[in-house]
Structure 1
């Protein structure tokens, strides 16, 4: 996918003819959802840019439209769009704007806006000394998603005292110098030609640094343009490094294609649906619509009758008219328990009986009567084909979105409403495991699991309440409680140890395997699958791990490996670990994974839920007793 400047060049041939600038660089399509999406900063050679809003994406192709009706309904959009690929025929790339705007010259030490340096077109050079310019290393951002240049002028003048007459006109020219004596910010010094005392950047990263100087958030949204500021932002801005992960956190949503939406008929209907459904909106009768269906290309190969197509149209309209699935905006709720996951859980548990070659979902039981399954596993399903759609809903800054939901922060993706979101579709295979509910209910009453889950619950509840107070949430603080349960921690940790084990057993890099959890009072399942957009997702072999005998062997090996960690005894005895103390016995030497594999950024994990502790083995779900 090409990245292009937000500006265009006009030719002398015609005033209506535009030629876009040469692409500045390129990123993979999947990176526009996970790393370099709308509002994210990206370094290209010696300059820094910010990815523009969706309203700037041009010449998008109809062939690149992605459909997933259940996810469309949940996110309230008409369609998804593949980011344009890196060829002219696939679109005109994605626009970027120069950001940050503050640059410095290492030779003359000037610190000012890029446009004031007089750099030659297409280059990043100081006009005076013809040396390369460096974009500002620092920016400020707030938890509401706003982003701005670091306020160098305010920083040096509000931290310094001047005896000058405030009415005296004086020229202000900033310089940035580094003594090089230390690697700390104390060595980075800002000076102004007006004569105020020079000030270092020491302390700029403090949580209250901007507040102490009276520097407020201006509501800037540079990815949407210079005039896209939001008024009255009450959040306190924080200093961030330009390339810090905290400068942009994606809010991505996904769904599996399951029957009936994965079936051939619905796939064939996708590109014609809005046109045919619009006839019903205009008040035509079913008989008139049937005639329109017969004239459409859906009927070209004779696989479907007009009545079947009409029934499929009505079924999708029923979906659109139905109540929205459970949302995570009202109160904290694990995504693993929402309505979309419940529909997938039922389909994965039951499997598919009628399978066609061109359908996107195939799930069958592993051979055998279940007697060879490992202890605690009730059902193993082989997902031989699956399709997942991942869409970028929005993004946040400074603090990551809460992994359990309930976070209402959503930065704008466009000026106005565009009716679509960027998304990618990936295909793969996997294994779905359902836990024995009877054994699970007994285990959930044991003191060990209850006490350990309560520790994580308490840490997460405190985190949610602190964030609610800081961001001015309308929810009552006492009503904000973590949804994390012992059941969730168990299944989440089980998914992690199996991914590590299967990575060793069938040759996949662990980052190519992903987890998808299904956890609620009446759900207890985990899907481990290879839906990845690169070649690692097509190696094959994961489905074989779900066969009863093979599953028994790998489960025994995974649990045995989890019994010991190279960081023990501190790891198994830990009372709080991980981000915001949301883990117990979990570290990178035992169960943590690459962030691309985990749904919740490696939190809510505890291997003691699997194998117990040295003092209380019965805490482990897979402990069979003496």
Structure 2
């Protein structure tokens, strides 16, 4: 990562801009640039703190050799972009990388206790030390943010001079200097005290600064600061929302909005990539002759794809258009994308002649799948080749993007771009479905319905609490079917991590739970040595799968925290789980689509008082 220049760049003797020579400030993996340290997030490097810059200069600063273009038409259409780009590699030989800016600017010196902007300490070039004491400066532990996604410095001047009788416009003009010290009496915020040398105020502790209305009481509102786009960048539309104080390392400071898609035929062989920038125009035509004329002009000659193949791709895209809405919303279109994946995973592509470029190979196992019928499992498929593209769409602060229909997502750039940063994973997986008739009968039982409603109500309360307007909270996806599939995926991942030698963090779930879907895809979530070695696919053969499921169900029947775990009426985050804990079914966060919530072992195996509650209760009784 490299910070942008602090002043106007000079020009060489020939008038051209000289090559960049910014200092390196650390390294991050490509996956982290999407999931952890994406645009707008804060990152600590040694004793310094930075914010990852926006993408406005990325077209120039991201080397094409280290940040290749990635195509995935289905996801690109959903996110309204032409293509994606991998974040630049961070190697010793890298020419450039992610740009960062110093933030927060307020620093303190542990020796002289001064609290002021970084530049006022007069540090030597390239170092973050006090020019007087020559000790490392400490970035401000506190920042402020609003629910619209803006981020700003903590208002220390206003916090110290916080008498309501003072004129807010005059605060900060007292002529004094701020100081911060730690009393050492406790480890709480009470021990952090801030003072001003003007002598007009007493020392003020930081206790109470995290209260929801702490800054509102000071008549402070958000000014729309966007430091990842520039130190002076503010939202042109303004803001005015209430501010909340946060610790710099809090997870609420930055939450990514990620969307992903599997590459499925006919888009999975890469032949459609040259047409990436032309699909919106091609969709305007229905007549093949008109399409042929457009392609001839667009490519100034012969199109890379024959016309019949282009027509087939257009037909496949129109099949994925959501039905029933003139202008379908984003969530509706995303469900349509998942529905198409489910159909392709069910049907597979056994009879197609796979080319070397084919990135989706899904075949029926050689064994007899009927041996899985006693388990209520049907349609296992071996996904021998799989490609997933995960894109960073935007980010939020304070508010979970999944909790409200009116989420305020912050853009990754100041000007609209026709691409987004993304990563791709190539691996393998196993897909299986539950028997629809048996599942329907199980869902309608009174005990199952009541337990599912208990979880749905708890989750809905959490969503309403996280949403700025409870009336706009999204409906909870918790249903007995969804919780059953989710818990089944977790116990299978745990079992395969033991039996097949996969680290649980290298496996990932993808759930297909709806009225017309009941499937689970477990696949490799990393592209390292555990990504595509064939070991996971081998577990999908009916004989091995039967043994794995039975073993996983028996293992889930007992938890080292029982009876406490099984009898819990609320567990997990805000009571959104029932019989689930880290000793039985919870996974690393990277493996779970739902952050380890909406899990319940009882819907798998039943309870000691009611074994029939579990979908697989009969398996344990046999």
TM-score when normalising by structure 1: 0.89
Match of 2:430? 431
- The one of 473, 483, 488 equivalent to 1:489 is 483
Q: Residue by residue, what CA displacement relative to the aligned partner does 1:175-218 show, whole Å, maximum 9, x if unpaired?
A: 00001122111111000112201111112222332223333222
Secondary structure of 1:311 counterpart: helix
| Alignment check: 8 A CA contact 2:149 2:410 kept | yes
2:277 to 274, 279, 293: 274
1:202 & 1:548 partners in 2: Cα distance? 60
Contact 2:158–2:171 (8 Å) recurs in 1: no
User: Which residue is 1:586 aligned to?
Assistant: 580
Aligned-residue Cα RMSD (Å) equals 3.3
Map of 1:259-270 to 2, 5 A cutoff? 259-263=265-269, 267-270=270-273
Cα 1:369/1:27, change in 2 over 3 Å: same
Residues 611 and 128 from structure 1, CA distance in 2 versus in 1: closer, same or farther, beyond 3 angstroms? same
Is contact 2:282–2:291 with CA below 8 Å preserved after alignment?
A: no
Q: Give the aligned partner of residue 244 of structure 1.
A: 250
Q: Deviations over 1:22-42 (max 9, x none)?
A: 322221111111000010011
After TM superposition, the structure 1 = structure 2 runs for residues 314-463 of structure 1, keeping only pairs within 5 Å, are 314-315=314-315, 318=318, 322=321, 338-352=335-349, 353-356=351-354, 357-373=356-372, 375-402=375-402, 406=405, 408-463=407-462
Secondary structure class of the residue paired with 1:255: strand
Report the more deviating stretch, 231-240 or 169-178.
231-240
Q: Distance in 2 between matches of 1:71 and 1:256?
A: 9
Once the two structures are superposed, residues 519-563 of structure 1 have per-residue CA deviations (whole angstroms, 9 ceiling, x without a partner) of: 110100000000313332134300111111111111111111111
Per the TM alignment, residue 483 of structure 1 is displaced from its structure 2 partner at its CA by 3.0
Partner SS, residue 272 of structure 2: helix
Q: Secondary structure at the match of 2:378?
A: strand
Distance in 2 between residues matched to 1:44 and 1:325, nearest whole Å: 50
Distance 1:161 1:109 in 2: 28
Describe the shift of the 1:280–1:456 C-alpha distance in structure 2 as closer, same or farther (beyond 3 A). closer
- Which of residues 490, 507, 516 is equivalent to 1:513? 507
Query: Could you tell me whether the CA contact under 8 Å between 1:221 and 1:230 is conserved in 2?
Result: no
* SS of corresponding position for 2:398: coil
1:621 corresponds to:
615
2:529 to 524, 535, 554: 535
Tell me if the contact between 2:41 and 2:51 (Cα under 8 Å) persists in the aligned partners. yes
Matches of 1:249 and 1:549, distance apart in 2: 42
Q: 1:276 to 1:191 in 2, by over 3 A?
A: closer
Worse overlay, 8-17 or 577-586: 8-17
Structure 2 CA distance for partners of 1:341 and 1:273, relative to 1, 3 Å = closer
Indicate yes or no: 2:92 matched with 1:93.
Answer: no
With over 3 angstroms needed to count, the CA separation of the structure-2 counterparts of 1:171 and 1:33, relative to structure 1, is same
Does residue 464 of the first structure (1) align with residue 463 of the second (2)? yes
Q: Give the structure 1 partner of residue 596 of structure 2.
A: 602
Structure 1 unmatched ranges of 5 or more: none
Q: How does 1:28-47 map to 2 (within 5 A)?
A: 28-47=29-48
Aligned partners of 1:269 and 1:298 also within 8 Å: no
Which 5+ residue runs of structure 2 have no aligned equivalent? none
Which secondary structure state, in structure 1, belongs to the residue aligned with residue 193 of structure 2?
strand
Matched, 1:111 2:123: no
Alignment CA distance shift 1:331-1:455 (3 Å): farther
**Contact 2:401-2:409 at 8 Å conserved across structures:** no
Q: Is residue 157–residue 171 contact of structure 2 (8 Å, CA) maintained in 1?
A: no
Residue 142 of structure 1 and its aligned partner are, at CA, apart by 2.1
Match of 1:198 in 2: 203
Distance 2:268 2:32 in 1: 25
Give the secondary-structure state (helix, strand or coil) at the position aligned to 1:274.
Answer: coil
Given the alignment of the two structures, is residue 213 of structure 1 paired with residue 211 of structure 2, yes or no?
no
C-alpha change, 1:505 and 1:618, in structure 2 (3 Å) is same
Q: Secondary structure at the match of 1:535?
A: coil
Shift of the 194–611 alpha-carbon distance from structure 1 to 2, 3 Å rule, reads: same
Higher mean C-alpha deviation, range 53-62 or range 196-205: 53-62
Rate the CA distance shift 1:287–1:180 in 2: closer, same or farther, 3 A.
closer
2:84 to 67, 80, 85: 80
Counterparts of 2:255 and 2:182, CA distance in 1: 31
Q: Structure 1: how far apart are the matches of 2:427 and 2:10?
A: 45
Match of 1:120 in 2: 124
Q: For the Cα contact (< 8 Å) 1:334–1:483, is it kept in 2? A: no
- Mark the CA change 1:327 to 1:368 in structure 2 (over 3 Å): closer, same or farther: farther
Q: Which residue among 158, 169, 188 is the counterpart of 2:162?
A: 158
Match of 1:136 among 137, 140, 144: 140
Whole-angstrom distance in 2 between the partners of 1:592 and 1:584: 12
Separation (CA, whole Å) in 1 of partners of 2:416 and 2:34: 19
